[in-house]
């Protein structure tokens, strides 16, 4: 299980710095969570201004 970033993402980058394991990076048109690295802590969820991050 890993958190996911939907198409609501506006690529602001607010979430990336909140991840303790650096699982979030800029992808093609939106930010993406590396499912292999994510530990499902949920720290990023509250950082997103558009609510694009959800638990898988």
**Contacts with ligand SF4, residue ranges (CB under 6 A):** 3, 18-19, 21, 23-24, 33, 38-44
Query: CB 28 → ligand SF4: shortest distance, Å?
Result: 18
Instruction: Name the residue nearer to ligand SF4 (CB basis): 29 or 35.
Output: 35
Query: CB 23 → ligand SF4: shortest distance, Å?
Result: 4
What are the DSSP calls for 5-53, one per residue? E-TT-----TTGGG-TT--EEE-SSSEEE-TTT-----TTGGG-TT--E
Q: Which helix (H) or strand (E) holds 2?
A: none
Residue 56 DSSP one-character state: -
Instruction: Name the residue nearer to ligand SF4 (CB basis): 1 or 7.
Output: 1
């Amino acid at each position: 299980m890993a958190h996911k970033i939907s198409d609501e993402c506006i690529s602001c980058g607010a979430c990336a710095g909140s991840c303790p394991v650096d699982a979030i990076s800029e992808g093609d048109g939106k930010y993406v969570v590396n499912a292999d690295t994510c530990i499902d802590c949920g720290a990023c969820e509250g950082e997103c201004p558009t609510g694009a991050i959800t638990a898988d």
